[in-house]
Amino acid sequence: MSMSVRTSAVVAVVERNRRIGERVGRILAAAIGLEHVACVDEPAALPALVGEETRLVACGEGDIEQVGEWFFKLYPQLRFLVWTTDEPARVMAVAAAQARLSNVLGWPRFASLPRPWELAMAARRLVFPDTPAPPVTALMHWGATQLVWAPRTGLERDRVVAEVGEVVQRAGGDAPTAERVSGVAHELLVNAMYEAPVDAYGRPRYAGDRTRDVALDEGERPTLRLVTDGVILAVEVADPFGGLERAHVFDRVARGLAAEAGAGDPDLAADEDLDGGADSGGHGASGAGAGMVRLYRDSAVLLVDVLRGQATRVISLHELNASARDVRRMAGSLHYFSA
């Protein structure tokens, strides 16, 4: 029996620092069952490695425009994984325009390479799209503690948010971290309770006024999980509707970052009112609409999983060992997966 010989890499990595590229390559190879991963330190070497068998190209944000110019149209099966240590506005603008780039890794300045678990998680799911979404505990060290809430009314939501702040401080987070995580929990729950619920015809049930109280039906309740292993702390909010669109996530984040830099829509600040401004209604998904760019800014990693018409899960991860200065300077990660 003859064995076929691969003529191109399954994953191709471009990293200017060769040693870092090799380390990234080993992580990606392990994540995809030791299939062929090729690493180069110059984009010019990439075309010789990419072919019909290639499923993923991973590179730094400085190379994405050149890499994309070559491959976005030539190989429609290709997905892209990009890391950045700098202000992410540039790469988010590319992601907003190119649907095959839905995974941007923020490389912490204090780390020697992008987070290994994040590289592995993204590569496995991009190369093998049928891979199930991992539970949030799988992103932690063994032995993590998990707390779960399922609020039904606005009063219950506010109690949960207050408890989240208390738990964060019990877990070792300082007061600013507790305030930031509580804000994320509040925004995710508000979106899950007002924006996500739709009727049998797909029409929003509660999105018209986010300030009024709601009493959700039993099957509409969102679930909030807070999980920590003492190093990472995560808030996960899941709703049973699955309506969050990729374009909405990346468009909002890209526009928000551009506005922060003074290059975007001057009216975006009004749109991004956390209490439900001009664009707060009708998006039908957890974490959607108002506050998306703030959710991104307040998370070390923001991970969105959508099972269309069935469930949306948004995970916001925070690094407890990072200093306040590191958090302010850290480029966040944004991942979107759908099935």
- Model pLDDT, residue 266: 41
What is 136-338's CATH superfamily?
A: Histidine kinase-like ATPase, C-terminal domain (3.30.565.10)
- Model pLDDT, residue 286: 42
Task: Assess whether pLDDT exceeds 60 at residue 283.
Answer: no
**Which of 232, 106, 113 has its CA nearest to residue 181?**
232
Most confident of 87-96, 119-128, 320-329: 119-128
> CATH 3.30.565.10 occupies which residues in the chain?
136-338
- Model pLDDT, residue 311: 95
249 Ramachandran zone, left/alpha/beta (phi>0; psi -120 to 50) = alpha
Q: Read off the pLDDT of residues 186-245 as tens digits, 9 standing for 90 and up.
A: 999 999 998 888 887 778 888 766 777 888 889 999 999 999 999 999 999 999 999 999
Cα separation values, 107 from 20, 115, 147, 248, 332, Å: 12, 7, 28, 24, 8
Q: Read off the pLDDT of residues 103-145 as tens digits, 9 standing for 90 and up.
A: 999 998 888 899 999 999 999 999 999 999 999 999 999 999 9
Residue matched to tokens 């958090």? 327
The CATH-assigned architecture of domain 11-127 is 3-Layer(aba) Sandwich (3.40)
> CATH 3.40.50.2300 occupies which residues in the chain?
11-127
Task: Assess whether pLDDT exceeds 50 at residue 173.
Answer: yes
**Which of 117, 121, 60, 115 has its CA nearest to residue 91?**
60
72's tokens: 């976005």
